[in-house]
Amino acid sequence: MPNPDPTTPPPVPAAPAAPANDAAARLATERLVHQLGNAGLIPFVGLALLMWLVNAEALPYVSLLLVSYAALIVSFLGGVHWGVVWHRHSGHSGAPAMCTSEARRHLVWGITPSLLAWPGLLMPEPAALPWLGAVLLVCYAVDRKLFASAGLGHWLTLRFRLSSVAALSCFIAAGAV
């Protein structure tokens, strides 16, 4: 039957159910998430260390690299929340759609990290690095509540480690400027 309202998209057909024996696939995906997350710390740690090793002439360039990377990662953390809402409302996850107020919390918070990171790109590095380190910690604190309510609490241990190392790298790097 044709959709009577052309402004309303047609319903998305449900994805086929995953086989019951997909534990190996889940484990492989979880391992990849951990590997990529840990790899994402390499620029944080490497650039923070490099800031203590380079000469004064190179320091502004290295600090700009770290500030830019930290701001990009903070923005990425917000985008995760849009993905959570889209996934839950797609009908593919098997989980019920979020209530409007929960979806609104995720969507509004989803743009907030980018807005918080933006000033860090405009600040001088001695202020930007601690600012972005603090924003990384704030993102984790908010995600602790929002991830748990979305059924994603099992990712919080990884998020804690990644956010802690990233924020600590920003704080350590700020001491070199």
pLDDT in tens, 106-116: 999 999 999 99
- In percent, how much of the chain has pLDDT > 70? 87
What is the rounded distance in angstroms from the CA atom of residue 160 to the CA atom of residue 145?
13
User: Residue 9 above 80 pLDDT?
Assistant: no
What is the torsional sign of CA 152, 72, 87, 106?
positive
47-83 pLDDT, tens per residue?
A: 999 999 999 999 999 999 999 999 999 999 999 999 9
What is the rounded distance in angstroms from the CA atom of residue 64 to the CA atom of residue 4?
54
Beta strands in 17-102 (DSSP E): none
Q: What pLDDT, on a 0 to 100 scale, did the predictor assign at position 151? A: 87
Average pLDDT over residues 16-23: 63
Rg, Å, the chain Cα set: 20
